[in-house]
């Protein structure tokens, strides 16, 4: 259902080099009935999925570390980020995508995952919906070393921490990625580990 108080009047493509960047002009009707015209740039990179892999017997989690240029350009001295496994949906549904990404990035082949929540991570400028999952892993599910796909120029380090170590890395500032913080907090609240 469309919002009758919003009317998009123009969409201008600014870039489709990596993903889609549009300049959108729209009219917004305020509560007092007055209409204001707004212009915003909107980045559409597609929707994504992320997963916290946990092992309840060992009380561990699998995370990844990789270089993230935007963080480097905005003050992260190394550009390296510790994160949960994540990726774009591409043509898959969220569950299929997160299972695919888990194997590509971490080397673990999951058969079952549990959806936690859908969230907009940066709704002021990015269209992406991020689907968050948890999934239990054990050593029998390890089918390769992970590390990502060469075709996607991924260079991903697979990390295994105790849950407490990972959770404490939020407070120490070693983990600053929002999706990772949300999933670690979910695991803590739900006593998954």
Terminal-residue alpha carbon distance, the chain? 40
Whether the per-residue pLDDT at 3 is higher than 60: the answer is yes
d(CA 70, CA 66): 12
What are the φ and ψ backbone dihedral angles of 127, each rounded to 5 degrees?
Answer: -80, -15
Summarize pLDDT for 50-91 with one digit per residue, the tens: 999 999 999 999 999 999 999 999 999 999 999 999 999 988
Q: What is the DSSP letter of 126?
A: B
Instruction: Give residue-wise pLDDT tens across range 129-165.
Output: 999 999 999 999 999 888 776 676 678 999 999 999 9
For 99-123, the pLDDT digits (tens) are 999 999 999 999 999 999 999 999 9
Closest CA relative to residue 152, chosen from 119, 105, 113, 102: 105
Residue 1 has pLDDT above 60, yes or no: no
For 108, the 3-state DSSP assignment is strand
């Amino acid at each position: 259902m469309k919002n009758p108080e919003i009317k998009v009047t123009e969409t201008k493509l600014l870039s489709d080099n990596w993903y889609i960047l549009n300049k959108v002009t729209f009219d917004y009707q305020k509560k007092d009935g007055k209409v204001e015209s707004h212009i915003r740039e909107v980045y559409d990179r597609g929707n994504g999925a992320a997963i916290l892999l946990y092992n309840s017997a060992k009380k561990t989690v699998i995370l990844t570390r990789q270089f993230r240029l935007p963080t480097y350009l905005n003050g992260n001295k190394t550009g390296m980020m510790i994160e949960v496994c994540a990726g774009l949906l591409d043509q898959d549904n969220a569950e299929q995508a997160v299972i695919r990404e888990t194997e590509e990035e971490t080397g673990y082949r999951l058969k079952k995952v549990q959806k936690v929540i859908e969230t907009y991570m940066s709704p002021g400028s990015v269209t992406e919906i991020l689907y968050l999952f948890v999934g239990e892993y054990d050593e029998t599910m390890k089918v390769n070393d992970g590390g990502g796909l060469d075709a996607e120029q991924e260079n991903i380090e697979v990390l295994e921490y105790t849950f407490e170590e990972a959770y404490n890395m939020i407070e120490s500032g070693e983990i600053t990625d929002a999706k990772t913080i949300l999933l670690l907090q979910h695991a803590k609240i739900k006593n998954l580990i």
